[in-house]
């Protein structure tokens, strides 16, 4: 079950539409119902409070205005799998960065220092060109 500070993915008619963080869960006067305050992770930031049953917080489908809705707790993948997936991309970016840095003598020392730390440099700008 999702709890306070968990990130959830909100589905509308079986399509993912937004991420939100659960800010607060307060019991309602009706048994098994809760006031769930969500911080919508989009611009502009806003909070909404939905009154949900406990099974809805656990991921069951419910309706709002006759439309199917569902919230699902987001679980981050293990760090190792992220590194494995991006290895090839990072190597390509690293080679292009090496060429650029070697042509600029002022930065060549900085680049060699970075290479020694074995950290990956991934340019988000290069990834967006795909």
- How confident is the prediction along the chain (130 residues), in pLDDT tens digits per residue? 789 999 999 999 999 999 999 999 999 999 999 999 999 999 999 999 999 999 999 999 999 999 999 999 999 888 876 555 555 555 545 554 555 555 554 455 554 554 455 555 555 666 555 5
Q: Confirm whether 2 is domain-assigned.
A: no
68 φ, ψ to 5°? -70, 135
Q: Confirm whether 40 is domain-assigned.
A: yes
Task: Name the domain boundary from 57, 73, 89.
Answer: 73
Asked whether residue 61 falls in the same domain as residue 117, the answer is no
- Residue range(s) defining the domain that contains residue 115: 79-128
How many CB atoms lie under 10 A from the CB of residue 33? 14
pLDDT at 99: 52
Q: Confirm whether 86 is domain-assigned.
A: yes
Asked whether residue 14 falls in the same domain as residue 46, the answer is yes
Work out how many domains the chain is built from and give that number.
2
Q: Confirm whether 105 is domain-assigned.
A: yes
Asked whether residue 44 falls in the same domain as residue 21, the answer is yes
Q: How many residues does the chain have?
A: 130
Asked whether residue 90 falls in the same domain as residue 109, the answer is yes
What is the residue-wise DSSP string for 31-82? Answer: TTEEEEEEEE-SSSPEEEEEEEEHHHHTT--EEETTEEEEEEE--PPPHHHH
The rounded distance, in Å, linking the Cα atoms of 88 and 94 is 10
Q: Confirm whether 1 is domain-assigned.
A: no
Task: Name the domain boundary from 52, 73, 94.
Answer: 73
Q: Which of 36, 35, 33 is nearest to 55 (CA)?
A: 33
Asked whether residue 28 falls in the same domain as residue 50, the answer is yes
Asked whether residue 91 falls in the same domain as residue 64, the answer is no
Q: What is the pTM of this model?
A: 0.60
The rounded distance, in Å, linking the Cα atoms of 46 and 27 is 22
Asked whether residue 69 falls in the same domain as residue 104, the answer is no
Asked whether residue 65 falls in the same domain as residue 91, the answer is no
């Amino acid at each position: 079950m999702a709890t306070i500070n968990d990130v959830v993915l909100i589905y509308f008619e079986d399509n993912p539409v937004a991420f939100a963080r659960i800010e607060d869960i307060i019991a309602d006067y009706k048994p098994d119902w809760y006031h769930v305050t969500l911080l919508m992770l989009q611009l502009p930031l806003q909070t909404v409070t939905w009154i949900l049953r406990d099974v809805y917080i656990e991921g069951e489908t419910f309706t709002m205005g006759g439309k199917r809705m569902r919230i699902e707790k987001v679980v981050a993948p293990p760090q190792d799998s992220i590194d494995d997936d991006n290895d090839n991309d990072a190597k390509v970016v690293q080679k292009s960065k090496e060429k650029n840095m070697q042509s600029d003598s002022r930065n060549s020392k900085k680049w060699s220092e970075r290479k020694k730390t074995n950290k990956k440099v991934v340019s988000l700008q290069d990834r967006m060109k795909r």
